[in-house]
Amino acid sequence: MKTLRIGSGAGYSGDRIEPAVELAEQGDLDYLVFECLAERTIALAQQARISDPQGGYDPLLSERMRRVLPFVGEHEGRRRLRVITNMGAANPVSAAREVRRIASELGLALKVVAVVGDDVLDVLRPEQVLDNGQTLGSLGARLISANAYLGVDGILDALRAEADVVITGRVADPSLFLAPQMFEFGWAAHDWPRLGRGTLVGHLLECAGQVSGGYFADPGFKDVDDLARLGFPLAEIDAEGNAVITKVSGSGGRVSRATCAEQLIYEVHDPAAYLTPDVTADFSHVSFVEESVDRVRAQGAAGRARPERLKVSVGYLDGWIGEGQMSYGGPGAVARAQLAREVVLKRLELMGVKMQDVRAELIGMDSLHGPRSSVEPWEVRLRVAARCEERSEAVRVGNEVETLYTNGPSGGGGASKSVRQVVAVASLLLPRDAVNPRIEA
């Protein structure tokens, strides 16, 4: 029986490139998938596209493709390798053009196909309500993007069109991995049990190194061999959607029941109802069996009918965040940092800086989970952050921290300050027939 080999080359837009090259070179893969779009990445990309109509795709697209394209397509003594990625972000068509340019530079004859149709900004109406209670109309000119989570449809069309490289915008992460399984094994679009199993494979792979020993080590409790050379995962999948998760022999990291269990539950709410555009997957009875070192069989996933509506992620501008930091060390560090915190908050108030929300904390004491320890640390870092409607107001937050140098308690050092625009993300649901995925070759 045919075994399909799918590797995961990236779990987020900034992910490491070397493990993907290792997979392309040594993984004997049929498909290499790069998942690079977090919730708001596409809104940021849309902003980039506004300033450059040819831009708006993943900033690492060119470098990644330059490194892996030499392994893509037909090569003597190897499986035919194809690439699927959502690195198209806000501009899959331009991204595909860039990949064609790189392929031709490298002397490779590859078919590159873009999947479009996720951008639904034009079909939304002002009266539609977001999950945060706001209407789209109330956002006015602050509205920057609206992208539906597409499922497998466009990718399937691209694979039928013999694409070597498929470039999408917003597609649900597991769908990037489910599509090649459906295509290769001929699964029907309503074959819910197989789609549920194939979605489990996608879910386990979609964060790349997170299932092969990345984001896992806790020395003395959970040790990971050779984490510095962490290998990215691949799945060996049969026609029923049963899979073994493993990685390239000789790479660092580990694949175990424990790494798989952590990734199984990652970003899942009700494990019996994991909603994707393709299927309602049921992970509640999944179990893992370690067949040998770094080989784990995943079993027990199920599936039911897919949701009727598609999730749309809406990006909008929502003011500015100004931030400043300053460190204090040695005896009395905490008392001086606390005084600095009070002084900055008082000064922001006295100057009437217009803030919607402000937060001041001591890194090393209370910045992550609130206060607890009574142990006096050797060093502590004040952090003040505020959200402001206007950039000019946000700038003043960092300035008030920096001026602690000559105007605050003794011995502050290492000041830093920053201002960033807030691109907020909210969501709504759209009927499936309002969304029209299609390919552009």
Partner 1 sequence: MKLHTLAHSRTGDKGDTSNISIIAYRAEDYPLLCEQLTAERVAAFFAGLLEPGAAPVRRYELPNVQALNFVLPGILRGGVTRSLALDAHGKCLGSALLDLDLDLPTPN
Residue 316 forms beta bridges with which residues?
143, 424
Question: For partner 1, which stretch binds (CB under 8 A), given 26-34, 156-164, 239-247, 380-388?
Answer: 380-388
Q: Is 13 in the site for partner 1 (CB under 8 A)?
A: no
Say how far apart CA 382 and CA 402 lie, in whole Å: 11
Question: For partner 1, which stretch binds (CB under 8 A), given 59-67, 94-102, 147-155, 417-425?
Answer: 417-425
Choose between 94 and 280: whose C-beta lies nearer to partner 1.
280
Residues 219 and 324 sit within 8 Å (Cβ to Cβ): no
**Residue 362: which region, alpha, beta or left (left: phi > 0; alpha: psi -120 to 50)?**
beta
Q: Is 374 in the site for partner 1 (CB under 8 A)?
A: no
Question: For partner 1, which stretch binds (CB under 8 A), given 70-78, 164-172, 256-264, 400-408?
Answer: 256-264
Residues 169 and 118 sit within 8 Å (Cβ to Cβ): yes
Give the DSSP H/E element, type plus range, for residue 422. Answer: strand 413-431
Task: Give the residue from 146, 142, 140 showing the smallest Cα distance to 121.
Answer: 146
Radius of gyration of the chain (CA): 24
Binding letters toward partner 1, positions 75-94, x by CB under 8 A: --------------------
Q: Is 182 in the site for partner 1 (CB under 8 A)?
A: no
Say how far apart CA 203 and CA 199 lie, in whole Å: 6
Residue 299 forms beta bridges with which residues?
287
Q: Is 37 in the site for partner 1 (CB under 8 A)?
A: no
Q: Is 219 in the site for partner 1 (CB under 8 A)?
A: no
Q: Is 138 in the site for partner 1 (CB under 8 A)?
A: no
Count other Cβ atoms within 10 Å, centred on residue 100. 16
- What strand order describes the sheet that includes 165-168? 287-292, 295-299, 243-247, 233-237, 4-10, 31-34, 82-85, 165-168, 112-116, 438-440
* Shortest separation between residue 49's beta carbon and partner 1, angstroms: 18
* Shortest separation between residue 263's beta carbon and partner 1, angstroms: 8
Choose between 198 and 322: whose C-beta lies nearer to partner 1.
322
Q: Is 368 in the site for partner 1 (CB under 8 A)?
A: yes
Amino acid at 360: A
Say how far apart CA 24 and CA 387 lie, in whole Å: 44
Q: Which of 122, 228, 352, 369 binds partner 1 (CB under 8 A)?
A: 369
Q: Which of 359, 411, 413, 414 binds partner 1 (CB under 8 A)?
A: 359
Choose between 31 and 232: whose C-beta lies nearer to partner 1.
232
- To the nearest 10°, the Cα dihedral for 253, 257, 262, 266? 100
Handedness of CA 105, 106, 112, 118 (dihedral sign): negative
Residues in 267-326 that interact with partner 1 by CB under 8 A? 267-272, 283-288, 300, 318, 321
* Shortest separation between residue 38's beta carbon and partner 1, angstroms: 8
Sites of contact with partner 1 (CB under 8 A): 38-40, 131, 215-216, 218, 221-222, 257-258, 260-272, 283-288, 300, 318, 321, 357-359, 361, 363, 367-370, 383, 385-387, 422-425, 427
